Amino acid sequence: MDTHGGGARVPVTAAGCPRIMDRVSDSDRDGLFGALFGRGGVGVSDRDWLEAMLDTEAALARALERAGLAAAGSGGMVTAAARASQFDAAEIGRDAVRTGNPVPALVRALSGALPEGAREAVHRGATSQDIIDTAAMLLARNAIGVIDGDLAAAAGHAARLARAHTTTLMAGRTLLQQAVPVTFGLVAAGWLTAIGEARSELRRIRTTRLAVQFGGAAGTLASLGADGPAVAALLAEELGLAEPALPWHTDRLRILQLAAGLAGVCAALGKVARDVTLLAQTELGEVTEGRGEPGQGGSSAMPQKRNPVASVLVLGCARRAPGLLATMAAATEHELQRAAGAWHAEWEPLTDLLRITGSAASWSAVLLAGLQIDAVRMRAALDASGGLPMAEHVTAVLAPALGRLTAHDLVAAAADRAARQDTGLAAALLADPDSAAALSAAGIGAADLAAATDPGSYLGACSEFVRRALAAHDSGEWQPAEEGAPSGD
């Protein structure tokens, strides 16, 4: 099983936009929804699970041989036989109903493929949970490597957008209404920061929280006697996973932290996609997804439509993550030494979380690579508001002369008139005799109001915040040190 992390380069069309049908996992390509929600290189198909379980059994056989508990050469024979292509996952699944999990059937099938002298090295000292939990760790490690590659690509595109649009003015919006001006660079820097932090947490989990599971029937390794801990250490070494202080059969914090890290990635990517869908609305048109394929964004009924497909699919993945995380959290209560049902409840939600997080990350790299920014429409939306987003600034300018409360009330009344009369804020202030008189007495004229209602004059720390986000990205602040020896705790 390939344990190499990292994502592949995203292929592009002649127009420079990412192709939307590439990089779908072979195992997930088939099926009605596979290309939508199984995009990317994360492998969590039945065959991937089978291969991870076989890799665990093979590593255990090698560990037993190294510990002197299996015949010389048996580890190599088990490893040679433990190939997923040689086993029928469907048949093993059908046999799983007898025991409540697929491992006993797999052990019988693997043993049957071996000469008699090597069979004693199969599954010795282990219980079914050891194999499935360790397989889950292997799948997670591989998946995180792929997801990390796509997140790195997405972060790179967000950084490019932040850098290119540090001073591109647009309306800030709170509660979906125009607030004060911001820059698109700040928006992209926010995306960059969230992606970077989610990526950092997932890499931390991959480096420090993925551990081998090997405890035997009740977490004591009694069947291996005094050799149990040594075999556990060798198994961890064979698989390149952390060796925990003791088996974690009923301590599911590792699994929950993994699930939470995946959900965190979905949350960060969902934020990006939601912003894009809002800013891409026809009435705004401030951003547009790139056209990666002819007909991308089309509708079955409306020929004119250009839907933000990549964003919609990221959201389709991200919306599922909280429910899956909740299921994983609910399944953390494992009674006594081995759980009845709670462990079993983890397998499919974790599989789904790995798959949809991988798909969301892959789609996000495509989305941000091709995102087109319309700075003219962004500025037009600000100008169309007649200076109303600058009401806070105008109040601050008037406050030294008029007093803060008086200035606030005067500007609030003028803003109300401007909205009702469809005029600008400055014009509404000057047109009203009472406010005009107050302004004149304070020595504030039309030129002062024009300056105060200029969106570019009220950006606060936008540029500094963009600079900080880019500095953190460029310095690798969100990229934990490369993995050395895995840590168990």
* Confidence at residue 484, expressed as pLDDT on a 0 to 100 scale: 44
* Confidence at residue 488, expressed as pLDDT on a 0 to 100 scale: 54
CB 159 within 8 A of CB 185: no
Closest CA to 454 of 167, 166, 181: 181
Type of residue at 165: H
CB 158 within 8 A of CB 191: yes
Closest CA to 325 of 270, 271, 266: 266
Contacts 24+ apart (CB under 8 A), 331-338: 331/252, 332/252, 332/253, 332/255, 332/256, 334/249, 334/250, 334/251, 334/252, 335/250, 336/250, 337/218, 337/219, 337/249, 337/250, 338/127, 338/129, 338/218, 338/249, 338/250
Q: Where are the alpha helices (DSSP H) in 301-346?
A: 309-318, 321-330
Domains of the chain: 46-128 (1.10.275.10), 139-223+237-380+467-475 (1.20.200.10), 387-452 (1.10.40)
Distance CA 357, CA 320 (A): 10
* Confidence at residue 33, expressed as pLDDT on a 0 to 100 scale: 85
* Annotated catalytic residue within 338, 377, 417, 468: 338
Tokens of 453: 């209602």
Distance CA 452, CA 449 (A): 5
* Annotated catalytic residue within 9, 94, 223, 299: 299
Tokens of 290: 């790139």
Q: What is the pLDDT of residues 71-93, one digit of tens each?
A: 999 999 999 999 999 999 999 99
Distance CA 59, CA 55 (A): 6
* Confidence at residue 378, expressed as pLDDT on a 0 to 100 scale: 97
**CA R_g for the chain:** 29
* Confidence at residue 411, expressed as pLDDT on a 0 to 100 scale: 94
Whether residue 29 lies in the annotated active site: no
* Confidence at residue 489, expressed as pLDDT on a 0 to 100 scale: 54
* Confidence at residue 441, expressed as pLDDT on a 0 to 100 scale: 84
Q: How would you write the pLDDT of the chain (489 residues) with one tens digit per residue?
A: 433 333 333 333 333 443 333 444 444 556 788 888 899 999 999 999 999 999 999 999 999 999 999 999 999 999 999 999 999 999 999 999 999 999 999 999 999 999 998 999 999 999 999 999 999 999 999 999 999 999 999 999 999 999 999 999 999 999 999 999 999 999 999 999 999 999 999 999 999 999 999 999 999 999 999 999 999 999 999 999 999 999 999 999 999 999 999 999 999 999 999 999 999 999 999 999 987 654 455 544 444 557 899 999 999 999 999 999 999 999 999 999 999 999 999 999 999 999 999 999 999 999 999 999 999 999 999 999 999 999 999 999 899 988 999 999 999 999 999 999 989 999 999 998 988 988 888 888 899 899 999 999 999 999 999 999 999 999 988 776 554 445 555
Q: What is the pLDDT of residues 81-139, one digit of tens each?
A: 999 999 999 999 999 999 999 999 999 999 999 999 899 999 999 999 999 999 999 99
Neighbours of 487 (CB within 10 A): 14
Whether residue 338 lies in the annotated active site: yes
| Residues in contact with 227: Cβ distance below 8 Å, sequence separation at least 6, in sequence order | 67, 69
Q: Where are the alpha helices (DSSP H) in 286-390?
A: 309-318, 321-330, 347-370, 375-384
pTM: 0.89
